[in-house]
């Protein structure tokens, strides 16, 4: 336990000192929620902007932390030989992986608290919130996105990985129905968006917060599929050195 | 001194291949505890591959390695508690602060090493709150050494430990290496710096093209090869001088010459007489065993085409 605690503290310290990562995992989601939640420019139908946005923004926050932040940090740690050096200490791979997983989980808890709190301040209706489903959605989303992030981080050079993670983040943000409803996209893009992990997680989150999932249980199945495939991919592709 | 494999490092018939390329070709050697073993070799000689295999980072193609009696690849977990390593470069996150990082490693090893005392021991107390990216090259090396020392190691692998370090820093690193040796630690140093090797080595291994081409104590490698060295800025016909002296004269570097196979004072007298007769200026005459860099150059010389 002591070694895990030491490494977890180190992971959180490194994250707290990284301004770009903080902007990505907290700044951008909060900014998007604050801005689009308070201007009536989105085609959100019967829902208020803030009620429509909150599930997608939480999905975005999970993607930011589990895929981009974890992927970029791990990629650079691999490039800087930090993982190699830690590999020669008594820490061991399982504790290192667990420390990273816990740091992601802690950040996600903070993100959810801040985003839900912010949405509540902006008048979001949280009566239909299903906490058990929220935990399941976060778990599956984290598995899916961390698998994708680590697959890229485990094979690409630090700088290339950085660019790839950011590009993927942008694509998944745009086609995942996070800001705009998927139904308002061209039909072929709706299908693409629906089967992306961001699209599936956003739809599951809509079910969690307001029981308004567009595609019902199929999104949960797609997300589960991503979680399994991405983790297998990370296991296969990741290289420590 | 009697030693067993469990005391230090034992490598037997080690082969490391990368695809079709053989980086290390059936090498065998031992390194004893309480001694500093320096591994020398030009780039691509197989030093890094061998050390990485000994550290457990690399699985050998064939052969056996015993580090403190443990298989470094299969018994890594046990070995990590006993082994200190210093990478040549990197291994540290740029935003990590010196003091925090040493504290982290001391806590990971859990040997009761005082982090503040360790920071002071490597002379980094004034930069304890500085991030790694802001350290000078020498400070980075000393921090890397501190992380290796946090293990209270029974065996330590140091890759270019004095690279980029100033004179005072080098003295400090040398004194730490001596302390480790005197405490019974098996110290393995890989370096390109022959002067440094000459100062710290008890035993030397010379790697070349994936083989160990020489091994022994520093004295053994240098002895039996007497030479006279001198400097001259004049144009010297080395063939003519060789004939006159009866020993082979070679120009080893710009303005540097050696007379191989003797350190006899009568040959020195012959040399000075020849120089006077031919109006050639010579100076810095010295005689004795071959220097390590000459030994190294001889052992790793590529055939001229």
pLDDT at B190 over 50: yes
Burial class of residue B71, CB neighbours in 10 A (0-12, 13-18, 19+): middle
pLDDT band for position B303 (cuts 50, 70, 90): low
A215 vs A217: CA distance, rounded Å: 7
The string of pLDDT tens digits covering residues A141-186 is 999 999 999 999 988 988 999 999 999 999 999 999 898 888 888 8
In this prediction, residue A47 carries a pLDDT of: 80
What residues of chain A lie within 8 A of the CB of B147, using their CB? 85
Q: How far is A103 from chain B (nearest CA, A)?
A: 16
Q: Are the Cβ atoms of A80 and B80 closer than 8 angstroms?
A: no
Q: What is the mean pLDDT of chain A?
A: 90
> Above 60 in pLDDT, residue B233?
yes
Chain B touched by A109 (CB under 8 Å): no
Residue-wise pLDDT tens digits, A184-219: 888 899 999 999 999 999 999 999 988 777 777 899
> Who's near A32: CB < 8 A, 6+ residues apart?
A53, A57, A60, A179
B147 and B272 share a domain? no
For residue A147, the model assigns a pLDDT of 92
Q: Is residue B24 part of a domain?
A: yes
Q: What is the number of structural domains in chain A?
A: 1
Do B85 and A18 count as a contact with CB atoms less than 8 A apart?
A: no
Residue of A nearest to B150 (CA): A89
**Same domain? B260 vs B207:** no
**B-chain residues near A88 (CB < 8 A):** 55-57, 80, 83, 85
B2 confidence band (pLDDT: 50, 70, 90): very low
Minimum-distance CB partner of A80 among B83, B92, B110: B92
Distance of alpha carbon B272 from alpha carbon B287, whole angstroms: 14
CB pairs under 8 A between A and B: 66
- Is residue B300 domain-resident? no
Distance from CA of A80 to the nearest CA of B (A): 5
Do residue A87 and residue B57 have CB atoms under 8 angstroms apart? Answer: yes
pLDDT of residue A74: 92
Last residue of a domain, one of B167, B197, B220: B220
Instruction: Report whether A137 contacts A204 (CB < 8 A).
Output: yes
SS3 A214: coil
Provide mean pLDDT across the span B40-62: 91
User: Could A85 and B81 be called an inter-chain contact, meaning their C-beta atoms sit closer than 8 Å?
Assistant: no
A13 near B CB under 8 A: yes
Q: Is B30 within 8 Å of B4 (Cβ atoms)?
A: no
Range of the domain at B233: 226-289
Lowest pLDDT segment from A67-76, A92-101, A164-173, B134-143: A92-101
Question: Average of pLDDT values for A46-66?
Answer: 92
Give SS3 for B157.
strand
Q: pLDDT-based confidence at B234, cuts 50/70/90?
A: confident
Distances (CA, A) of B42 to B45, B46, B201: 6, 9, 17
Does residue B89 sit in the same domain as residue B231?
no
Which tens digit of pLDDT belongs to each residue from A108-154?
999 999 999 999 999 888 888 889 999 999 999 999 999 999 999 98
Is residue B256, in this structure, part of any structural domain at all? yes
Domain end, chosen from B220, B255, B280, is at B220
Q: Which domain holds residue A81?
A: 2-237
pTM for this prediction: 0.81
Cβ atoms of B162 and B137 closer than 8 Å? no
Q: Which pLDDT score, from 0 to 100, does residue B195 have?
A: 84
- Determine, yes or no, domain membership for B249: yes
Same domain flag for B113 and B235? no
Quick one: B74 and B209 in the same domain?
A: yes
The answer to whether residue B232 is domain-embedded is yes
Within 8 A of B77 by CB-CB distance, chain A residues are: 90, 92
Q: B174 and B103 in one domain?
A: yes
The least confident of B94-103, B175-184, B256-265 is B256-265
CB pair distance less than 8 Å for B93 and A77: yes
Distance CA A93, CA A113 (A): 30
ipTM over 0.85: no
User: Given B205, B220, B235, which residue is the final one in a domain?
Assistant: B220
Nearest to A89 among B87, B93, B105 (CB): B105
Question: Pick the residue with more confidence: B118 or B287?
Answer: B118
Count of domains observed in chain B: 2
Q: Are residues B91 and B238 in the same domain?
A: no
């Amino acid at each position: 336990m002591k070694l895990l605690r030491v490494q977890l503290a180190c992971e959180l310290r490194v994250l707290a000192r990284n301004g770009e990562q903080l902007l990505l995992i907290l700044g951008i989601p909060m900014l998007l929620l604050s801005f689009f939640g308070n201007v009536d420019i989105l085609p959100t139908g019967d829902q208020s902007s803030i009620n429509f946005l909150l599930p997608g923004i939480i999905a975005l926050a999970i993607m930011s932390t589990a895929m981009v932040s974890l992927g970029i940090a791990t990629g650079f740690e691999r490039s800087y030989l930090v993982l190699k050096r830690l590999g020669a200490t008594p820490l061991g791979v399982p504790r290192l992986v667990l420390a990273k997983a816990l740091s992601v989980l802690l950040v996600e808890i903070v993100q959810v608290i801040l985003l839900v709190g912010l949405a509540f301040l902006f008048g979001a209706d949280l009566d239909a919130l299903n906490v058990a489903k929220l935990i399941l959605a976060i778990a599956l989303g984290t598995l899916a996105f961390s698998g994708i992030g680590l697959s890229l981080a485990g094979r690409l050079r630090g700088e290339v990985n950085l660019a790839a993670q950011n590009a993927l983040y942008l694509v998944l943000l745009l086609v995942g129905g996070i800001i705009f409803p998927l139904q308002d996209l061209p039909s072929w893009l709706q299908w693409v968006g629906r089967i992306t992990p961001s699209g599936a997680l956003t739809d599951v989150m809509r079910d969690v917060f307001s029981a308004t999932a567009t595609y019902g249980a199929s999104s949960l199945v797609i997300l589960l599929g991503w979680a399994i495939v991405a983790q297998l991919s990370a296991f296969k592709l990741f290289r420590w050195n | 001194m009697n030693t067993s494999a469990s005391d230090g490092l034992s490598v037997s018939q080690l082969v490391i291949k990368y695809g079709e390329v053989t980086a290390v070709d059936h090498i065998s050697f031992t390194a004893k505890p309480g001694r500093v073993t320096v591994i020398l070799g030009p780039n691509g000689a197989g030093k890094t591959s061998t050390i990485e295999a000994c550290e457990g980072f690399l699985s050998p193609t064939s052969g056996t390695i015993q580090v403190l009696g443990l298989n470094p690849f299969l018994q890594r977990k046990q070995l990590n508690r006993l082994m200190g390593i210093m990478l040549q470069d990197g291994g540290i996150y740029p935003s990590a602060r010196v003091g925090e990082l040493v504290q982290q490693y001391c806590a990971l090893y859990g040997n009761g090493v005082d982090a503040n005392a360790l920071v002071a021991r490597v002379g980094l107390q004034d930069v304890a709150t500085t991030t790694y990216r802001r350290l000078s090259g020498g400070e980075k090396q000393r921090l890397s050494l501190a992380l290796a020392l946090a293990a209270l190691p029974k065996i330590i692998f140091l890759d270019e430990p004095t690279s980029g370090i100033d004179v005072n820093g080098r003295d400090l690193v040398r004194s730490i290496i001596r302390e480790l040796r005197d405490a019974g630690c098996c110290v393995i140093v890989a370096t390109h710096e022959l002067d440094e090797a000459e100062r710290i080595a008890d035993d030397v291994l010379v790697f070349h093209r994936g083989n160990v081409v020489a091994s022994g104590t520093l004295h053994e490698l240098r002895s039996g090869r007497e030479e006279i060295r001198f400097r001259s800025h004049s144009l010297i016909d080395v063939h003519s001088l060789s004939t006159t002296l009866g020993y082979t004269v070679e120009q080893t570097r710009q303005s540097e010459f050696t007379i191989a196979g003797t350190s006899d004072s009568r040959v020195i007298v012959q040399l000075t007489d020849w120089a006077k007769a031919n109006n050639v200026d010579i100076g810095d005459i010295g005689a004795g065993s071959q220097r390590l860099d000459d030994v190294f150059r001889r052992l790793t010389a590529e055939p001229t085409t």
